[in-house]
Structure 1
Amino acid sequence: MWKFKPFTHKEPAGLEGRSIDVGSVKILVQKAIAEGGFSCVYLARDAVHMSKQYALKHIICNDEESLALVKKEISVMKSLVGHPNVVTLHAHTIFDMGRTKEAFLVMEFCEKSLVTVLESRGAAYFDEKQILLIFRDVCNAVFSMHCQSPPIAHRDLKAENLLLGSDGLWKLCDFGSTTTNHKCFDKPEEMGIEEDNIRKYTTPAYRAPEMWDLFLREVINEKVDIWALGCLLFRICYFKSAFDGESKLQVLNGNYRIPDSPKYSSSMIDLIRDMLQARPDDRPDITQARALLDWPFMSSI
């Protein structure tokens, strides 16, 4: 889980104040703005054009697995460059430090996450149009991933991974959890490896039933993102998780309740219910989900 607070982990030498060449971009590192595991995100400025701000992601790779994850994250971001609802990757490089490798990703800087926005609203719920404007942006980003060949599943769609850009659009970030390995896992050794991957790269509150229990023998594919979108839409509407306590049994049994307030249209409720179908085949794909967003007032936007 990313923590958006000053980076407190004691490093031999922090990056603050340093000048770093990342690809064709020379940046000045200012301050840490988020931390997570073996990585940290910094606010940085362009050393030539000082008015330009960036987010610099610094990742320490201690083994081949972590290095492969970084390379995958870079590859996915490069394949999505130019999409208005995906955080832009401006430059990247990987330095060989001997025993470890250090990756630097220079990305578009976004000041707020969806979590920040939700928490700052107090009890002031969004109206339906506001919700759909946010959700449309998210679905557009997911659509771009699922339309790749093979489809790319994000696997960690959540409010923390949605950032508000300076252009007013919502942007999807953090592509280290992505996969194109879509299959049914039925061999014990494969199941053990996949269960470990699911624990490491997905978030319980947004985790689909087929990821909680591989013995369901369901194909695990990009439909896990549709479930996560249902959880995300529920949170945007009601400011809480659909499955309180992040319980496996709650998810497997589809044990959630639509709150009595605030009141939303039947179309909104149906969209949540369609995406939170326990069986992947019963959920809409991203094309169908986007079509379900076609409320009358959305056509004028």
Structure 2
Amino acid sequence: MWRFKQFMPKEQAGLEGRTVDVGSLKVHVRNVIAEGGFSCVYLARDAVNSSKQYALKHVICQDGESLDLVMKEISVMKLLKGHPNVVMLVAHAILDMGRTMEAMLVMEFCEKSLVTVLENRGAGYFEEKKILLIFRDVCNAVFAMHCQSPPIAHRDLKAENVLLGADGAWKLCDFGSTSTNHKCFNRPEEMGIEEDNIRKHTTPAYRAPEMWDLYRREVISEKVDIWALGCLLYRICYFKSAFDGESKLQILNGNYRIPDSPKFSASVTSLIKDMLEASPDARPNITQARYGPVLMSYCRQSCRSACLVVYICFKC
């Protein structure tokens, strides 16, 4: 779990204060803005043009598995580069330090995460229009992933991984948990490996029923992202998790309640219900979710016709 820190001076540690070369880019590393187990994200400035600032992700890869995760993240970000709702990868480098490998990813800087915005919203709820504009941007990013061949499942969609860009667009980040291995796991050894991957690289509150119980013999596919989108939309609407205490039994049964207040349109609550179907086959795909009537009304008029024809619009 990433832990975002407040912008404040602190004692120097790690890369802070250093100037480092990442690919063809030279950056001056400032303070830590987020940290995980073996990684940190720093605020960094371009050493040549100080008006440009970036987020520098520094990962210490202690084994092949952690290196594979970083390489996967780089690969997906390069594939989606240029999408307005995906955090842009500016430069990257993999360094052989002897006993360990270190990865540095320079990305566009986004000052706020969605979870920070939700936690600091004050006493009121968001208007439906604002909710759907946020959700539309996230769905645009997921659509770009699910349209790849084979589809790329993010597998860790959550408010912490949605950032607000300087251009006002909401952007998806953290692609280390992605997968194109969509299958039903039947053999015990395969199930054990997949259960370990799910435990380490997904978040319980957003984890789909088929990921909680592999003995259901359901295909684990990109539909896990549709479930997570349902959980995300619920949280943006009601500022809490759909499933109290991340209860496994509640999730397996799809047992949750739409609060009486605040009131949202039937189309919004129906979209939540459709995405939180316990069976992945009963959930809509991302095209049905993003380009259904609920979100199409929030597609900018100038590009709505293009969306209807090709089902994608990077301007939206």
Fold in common (TM above 0.5) = yes
Q: For 2:40 and 2:300, how far apart are their aligned partners in 1?
A: 40
Contact 1:184–1:218 under 8 Å retained in 2: yes
Relative to 1, partners in 2 of residues 1:73 and 1:299: Cα closer, same or farther, differing over 3 Å? closer
Matched to 2:164, the amino acid is: L
Shift of 1:294: 3.8
Shift of 1:12: 11
Counterpart in the other structure of 1:92: 92
Structure 2: runs of 5+ lacking an equivalent = 302-316
Shift of 1:254: 1.2
Contact 1:271–1:292 under 8 Å retained in 2: no
Q: For 1:161 and 1:120, how far apart are their aligned partners in 2?
A: 17
* 1:25-40 matches, cutoff 5 A: 25-40=25-40
Q: For 2:6 and 2:269, how far apart are their aligned partners in 1?
A: 38
Q: For 1:296 and 1:94, how far apart are their aligned partners in 2?
A: 41
Kindly indicate whether residue 269 of structure 2 is the aligned counterpart of residue 265 of structure 1: no
Partner SS, residue 20 of structure 2: strand
RMSD over aligned Cα atoms:
1.6
Shift of 1:122: 2.0
Shift of 1:298: 2.1
Query: CA offsets, 1:167-188, max 9 Å, x none?
Result: 0000000001101111000100
Give the alignment's TM-score, normalised by structure 1.
0.96
Counterpart in the other structure of 2:189: 189
Q: For 1:275 and 1:192, how far apart are their aligned partners in 2?
A: 27
Relative to 1, partners in 2 of residues 1:294 and 1:254: Cα closer, same or farther, differing over 3 Å? closer
Matched to 1:170, the amino acid is: W
Shift of 1:13: 5.5
Matched to 2:45, the amino acid is: R
Partner SS, residue 298 of structure 2: helix
Query: CA offsets, 1:39-58, max 9 Å, x none?
Result: 00000000001000000000
Q: For 1:291 and 1:165, how far apart are their aligned partners in 2?
A: 23
Relative to 1, partners in 2 of residues 1:184 and 1:81: Cα closer, same or farther, differing over 3 Å? same
Q: For 1:66 and 1:282, how far apart are their aligned partners in 2?
A: 34
Counterpart in the other structure of 2:69: 69
Contact 2:136–2:295 under 8 Å retained in 1: no
Counterpart in the other structure of 2:152: 152
Number of matched residues?
A: 298
Partner SS, residue 198 of structure 2: helix
Matched to 1:118, the amino acid is: L
* 1:1-301 matches, cutoff 5 A: 1-5=1-5, 14-294=14-294, 297-299=297-299
Counterpart in the other structure of 2:311: none
Give the alignment's TM-score, normalised by structure 2.
0.92
Q: For 2:233 and 2:129, how far apart are their aligned partners in 1?
A: 13
Partner SS, residue 237 of structure 2: helix
Shift of 1:291: 1.9
Matched to 1:298, the amino acid is: Y
Q: For 1:254 and 1:66, how far apart are their aligned partners in 2?
A: 33
Q: For 1:199 and 1:300, how far apart are their aligned partners in 2?
A: 39
Matched to 1:144, the amino acid is: A
**Alignment identity in percent?**
79
Shift of 1:272: 0.2
Structure 1: runs of 5+ lacking an equivalent = none
Query: CA offsets, 1:251-286, max 9 Å, x none?
Result: 011110000000000000000000000000000000
Q: For 1:163 and 1:300, how far apart are their aligned partners in 2?
A: 21
Shift of 1:14: 1.5
Q: For 1:18 and 1:295, how far apart are their aligned partners in 2?
A: 45
Matched to 1:114, the amino acid is: L
